[in-house]
Structure 1
């Protein structure tokens, strides 16, 4: 079939392709979620709700 991969070369290439597509999809979902979380945080900060990590302790 595919030179050097033997009779299962098609399956091997398909598995690599599927893995690559899944990883790209997961990366895209992570980036979209990051953008949504930043928007949600900005909306909360607009309402006056600040981050606990920014509070000053005396």
Structure 2
């Protein structure tokens, strides 16, 4: 199923690999940031409930 990339196969495949790695890192960073912000929001809401 792999198309014949000829002499450019290494460049094309490495570009795909780098792009995929960057996407994975961006998703991971986004999920990590989301968890941190969610925790901060819960803390703020909890403090607001205590102080009325």
Between the two proteins, the alignment pairs up a number of residues equal to 47
The superposition leaves residues 20-48 of structure 1 with CA deviations (integer Å, 9 ceiling, x where unpaired) of: 00000000000001000100000001111
| Structure holding more helix per residue | 2
Larger radius of gyration: 1
Root-mean-square deviation over aligned CA pairs: 1.4
Moved beyond 2 Å, runs of 4+: none
The CA distance in 2 between the partners of 1:44 and 1:22, in whole Å, is: 33
Higher relative contact order (CA 8 A, sep 6+): 2
Q: What TM-score do you get using the length of structure 2 for normalisation?
A: 0.84
Q: Which runs of 5+ in 2 are unaligned?
A: none
Matched, 1:25 2:25: yes
Q: Which runs of 5+ in 1 are unaligned?
A: 50-58
